[in-house]
Structure 1
Amino acid sequence: MDQTGCYPVKLYIYDLSRGMARQMSPLMLGKQLDGIWHTAIVVHGKEYFFVGEGINNCSPGSTSMGEPLSVVDMGFTQVPAEIFMEYLTSLAESTYRGDNYNLFEHNCNTFSNEVAEFLTGQKIPAYITDLPSEVLSTPFGQALRPLLDSIVVNPGGSNITGQQ
């Protein structure tokens, strides 16, 4: 917390493909993708993200994906940790239960966007939230959709509700 009673909010951005999307996407999709994005919100000393088992958290940058590819400063929030945890618990019991995870429509980026808006009033960058529709707009993306729909991303961390 700084002197004004505000807490910094960061968006951690990871490339799940570790550079492969940039190399392979022109051949496979007919368009350039810079990465396959996984995002998390860092606030109150923890990194929060949504995966197939629900909302998880860990120390910033300590997922199995290592250090983030980039960090975006989302601004500051006046929401204290206790209120934020109540908000996350509510999300974990409703909108962001693990069984609601979907790689294209309801994923870590959807979560990061919603949480960033709650905390700061700011959306995460559109190139991240627009990626699923970009992939699905290609014939190859449509052909791979059944396979891709079965993929669940899990970079580790502890579930905030203690459930798996």
Structure 2
Amino acid sequence: MINLRVTMDQANSYPVKLYIYDMSRGMARQLSPVMLGKQLDGIWHTAIVVHGKEFFFVGEGINSCAPAGTPLGNPDSIVDLGTTEVMEDLFMEYLTSQGESTYSCNSYNLFEHNCNTFSNEVAQFLTGNKIPPYITDLPSEVLSTPFGQALRPLLESIVINPGGSNINGQR
């Protein structure tokens, strides 16, 4: 009987992963000490992988694709965030609701409301866990430097979009 219970519990539990991509492809590690006066290991784009899909937030809203299915290729690292009991249909309802409100098209902001904000919120919804602080703290680290402040207007005009399909059908 115990073995059957474990098997049934595992059947209702889904792994949740954080895919981490360095948008600078190693350039941040090389140039940040000179440009910012501090070491940055990367410029992070993140996505949540659950139910066999990769979900992320970009300037067009919430997008999805097959895991590692964007032009970014394979992630630089993968963090195991734990498991969730949230079924796929409920998760998609949650994402649709978020895509119509908090993470709608045109609500993207590189420093304050980005893919990492989305990944952190979704991770907490699914598992109760946050994503690593070195990712969520990156914008304030950059903006705490004179060079970051000088580049802020230019950087805020950048919208990162690694591809995928918008879950609310927007493009």
Query: Structure 1 residue runs of 4+, over 3 Å off?
Result: none
For residues 113 and 10 of structure 2, the distance between their equivalents in structure 1, rounded to whole angstroms, comes to 36
For residues 139 and 35 of structure 2, the distance between their equivalents in structure 1, rounded to whole angstroms, comes to 15
Aligned partner of 2:48 in structure 1 is 41
Deviation, 1:76, is: 0.2
Instruction: Kindly indicate whether residue 140 of structure 2 is the aligned counterpart of residue 147 of structure 1.
Output: no
Residue of structure 1 aligned with 2:96, choices 84, 89, 95:
89
TM-score for the superposition, normalised by structure 1: 0.98
For residues 41 and 9 of structure 2, the distance between their equivalents in structure 1, rounded to whole angstroms, comes to 35
Aligned partner of 2:4 in structure 1 is none
Residue of structure 2 aligned with 1:131, choices 129, 133, 138:
138
Q: Which string of whole-angstrom CA distances, capped at 9 and with x for unpartnered residues, describes residues 67-114 of structure 1?
A: 000000000000000000000000000000121000000000000000
Residue of structure 2 aligned with 1:51, choices 50, 54, 58:
58
Give identity over the alignment, percent: 78
| Aligned-partner residue type, residue 105 of structure 1 | E
Matches within 5 A, 1:61-100: 61-100=68-107
Matches within 5 A, 1:84-123: 84-123=91-130
TM-score for the superposition, normalised by structure 2: 0.94
Deviation, 1:60, is: 0.1
Provide the aligned length of Structure 1 versus Structure 2: 164
For residues 132 and 119 of structure 2, the distance between their equivalents in structure 1, rounded to whole angstroms, comes to 10
| Aligned-partner residue type, residue 58 of structure 1 | C
| Aligned-partner residue type, residue 87 of structure 1 | Y
For residues 72 and 170 of structure 2, the distance between their equivalents in structure 1, rounded to whole angstroms, comes to 22
Larger Rg: 2
Give ranges in structure 1 of 5+ residues lacking alignment.
none
- Report the RMSD for the aligned CA atoms in angstroms: 1.1
Deviation, 1:3, is: 2.6
Give ranges in structure 2 of 5+ residues lacking alignment.
1-7
